[in-house]
Structure 1
Amino acid sequence: MSERVLVCPICGRRTERLIDGLCPDCYVKHHPMVEQKKAELTLKICKKCGRLGYKGSWSDTEEELLDQVRKDLTHIVKFRGEIRDVGIKIYPRQGSMQLTVTGKVHPEIQQFYQEEYEIPVKMEYTICDACLGRVSKAKRAIVQVRASNRELTQREKNILLGLLEQTASMKGKGADLSPWQVKEESGGFDLYFSTISAAKEFVNKLSHKMYFDTLETGKKVGVDSSGQEKFQVTFRLLLPGFTKGDVIKYRDRYYLVKDINSKRVFLLDLDNYVVESVVLLKSFISQTSTIARASEIQRGIIVAVENEKVYVMDKDYKVYEVDVKKSKGIFRIEDKVGILFHEGKIILVPLHDK
């Protein structure tokens, strides 16, 4: 009995098996794993900031752009066979996208292999939403930074201005986060953003640096070219009425605000001079009252300490006798202290850390 010989009709080579009448090599050659659904990929590039956009989404980095395209890949190409991996590289300035596909087009092909495909990329030059907002000066969102019943301190201003400088120096998404206008108003700052999402992200970043209560309001400001209503959103950020160096009253006790951050306030009890850490919550803040600002506290000097009595002299050389619990180790002769007169009491405020 003669041995059966299989010959590929395309290449003419002998083969041990045929796949749909072709040798494995010719089958792979004539059956690619990828078929283009679109003749080209359309990307947008912002003429102002250089960001790349795809289908209405703007990307700040190459990785973000690749993620956007990868999610939409099945609308760009059709895959055949068993696909193990797809690598994507986009060269927008060269006008091409390269796909590196690992897999096999037919189950009878024994080994996985790689194929490369190049898809044309068409670039459209336009202006991204963030830059368009700046150009048109559309006040889509306003962030108002204020403090309750006081001015912002220089420290608080520095935190805010530091974040503004940080976002202004960023590329890509920084263009969104950076407001197109900053106004220093009475009591605080007004920041104007071109998009609501940018304002929200800025507020979120600021919340990691300082504590504030947020009130969000919105109003209709017109309609766009498609007839949809346009709204302007205002975020009012209200810092607590106290800050570092102030003396507050909480549950009938007096405290010096030693420090404050985005989550906690550190208080020195002015009765036993023990430092407490308190979580910043609305319920806590609503029960506090500011007795004196740091700038309102008189200065004095300790002239004598006898048991639980401390003698302090003010700037007019008047000496006061103050009963202080646990005065030993807290106050020493020649220490500079704050003198606070409130409701018939004299409260000594340490001006140095222990």
Structure 2
Amino acid sequence: ASIGLDNIRVIPAAEPGQQSQTLSVWLKDLFGQAAEVDLAAVHWIGIALTIYASLSLMVTIENCLNVIVRAPVGRSWVRRVPLYWFVLTVSPLAVVVWYFANSQFDAWVSSVETWQWVAYLFWLGWNLFFAWLLLLAVYMLVPNTQPNIKPAAAGAAVAACLLVVGLRGLGAYLNYGFMVGQLYGSLGLIPLFMIWVYLMWLSILFGLEVAAILQALPGRQLEELERERKTESLVDPAAVVAVMEVIGQRFAQGQPTTLIKVCELTGLPEQTTSKMFSGLVLENLLHRLDGPTDTVTLAKPPDQISGVELLEVAFRLVDSGQSPDGSKLLDRLRQAQRDLVASTSLAGLLEEA
């Protein structure tokens, strides 16, 4: 009543015929209903949602980093749980230590009356070092591969510089820029913060991209890598059939197929098998699934996948990047292969296996 709530009347929207009541009475009723809610169930539901969100976030981060470093699959859950537990518990402590140290440095810089620029450079170097150390640990531990320390350190240094610039930029904007709260209120900071988090995430990914490039180019020229890529792109048409047989067998068992599983059963290189996956997905013969990197299953029943379709995919993979004018003998050999499997489907191949 002291702030005028009794002078404001509320009419419930769901019950138009009901008489209005003062805002103070309406708030008291609302608070009373909220007090009757059983918080025990909400407590456990909140814990469950927090655990699920944390695990989903870590899985997404690991999958993104695995794509950049070309790790075939994510690590098993037996190895994931200790790593995720370590990251989720140590990261908040690291952030607290970082902010505490920054506050101490800020107090020390403010107390220094002379050589302010030296103190500021020292403070900036500390921020860069801590960010670099944290990102280096992420690049070395999270991806399901073992990168070299030097490229990872260089990539972490690039990402650390971008993160520190982003932190200082956000602080400068909020302190000296146009006051968002005066135009939109406090909710106006939410989209700004989301965009800033997105840019910082791109900075982390860019640092890992730099590390992956440096590791792939240790004193070699791009022409040499291109020659290696063309050599590795050679595909035996029969290998595509073998890959589809493995996927078809696991499809019959109700199981998806990962890239590493196919490589183990067929002995094919990971890069070659990954290209086969991409070609088969483009032809709507395979369907990618959510989960570990390069997890697929059949996009149609095995009896609807002809042997000719599989050979055509293999022929296109072999011919990629080469001149369209081929040997007439090679054309006759390919036509003989088509005629041989003209009446064969993947289901028939699985029965013969």
With normalisation by structure 1, the TM-score equals 0.21
The answer to which structure has the higher helix fraction is: 2
Higher relative contact order (CA 8 A, sep 6+): 2
The answer to which structure has the higher strand fraction is: 1
With normalisation by structure 2, the TM-score equals 0.21
